[in-house]
Structure 1
């Protein structure tokens, strides 16, 4: 079977899978609906409408990225535990359980596992091994100044790049805006891919025979 390395999954990463939204190469800062959101009055349609500030029934890049810097700043402030205005490697890569998730050593196995799942679900998008780079690699990619610390500006620039990439992937007809149909399709792919990656990681990390 030929792996489908077409669009890359966006917002795949929950903290337990690909660490933080600040550093994951497959995460975007605009949150999609979680399970049960429709019952709580936060349906996918409502999410789309909340982003569509112009009311023209399509999303522009500006609309899609409108809250990105603010979200990145909020997360930066939560991670900056010593309140020195910078994120150290430990602050940036440690999750709420005090761990720095690293799946780089099983990256190819994860990709192969997800690729196999596409035989039964063509909504799943196969990731690349680079999506599972080590915490050090992710940190260094954001640390453009090379000083061993992340500034708010670096974190915001990184977040904006991720969200912009998500928008480009979502805009399948390259029209420069995103329709609700494209938004919905992307959401379905994102959810299916995120679940596939989670299942594969669980399987690979719990591969005992008894």
Structure 2
């Protein structure tokens, strides 16, 4: 299908944990296009996987930060649906962090755009992903090229690969200045569990404290 060909109806699944966001996307797309049909919505990792398998949409608009599942967010959804050739995933998120972009693309998404995108641009991105092409907000494409196309970032990627999905989430929040208690509340964990994750992250990355962790993450554009 040509990305500009509106002759074929594309079935969409919107995955976002905020009802107003889902409603807004649905409304914008229905008013601006005649070939996009929203067939379902989901708010959690588990709902997204179940709805995708039941509805088999052409394109899944996937938020990166989602509750549920094993804490892997949008990347967990993408991995669970990997190999389902009939479905394409386009990440749609407020986050423009390199870590989020790379993790969801590695998991199988075909594109990543931020929620600052205009409606016509979003429709174009959906069409491109449905056609098998890639679609990125301009600044984000560089993250993917760095991560997959050069050896310069390979070292930091290797270090990130040492961390579990949960450890990555904890690391990102700590590096952004969240307290242990705030991280625990955000991720529905106990404070002791957060402390344990931070200790493991510091050990794996060979860092001494959270201040070094913040510098490490900032140097790699992860916060």
Under TM normalisation by the shorter chain, which class is it? under 0.3
Greater share of strand: 2
Structure with more relative contact order (C-alpha pairs < 8 Å, separation 6 or more): 1
TM-score (norm 2): 0.25
TM-score (norm 1): 0.26
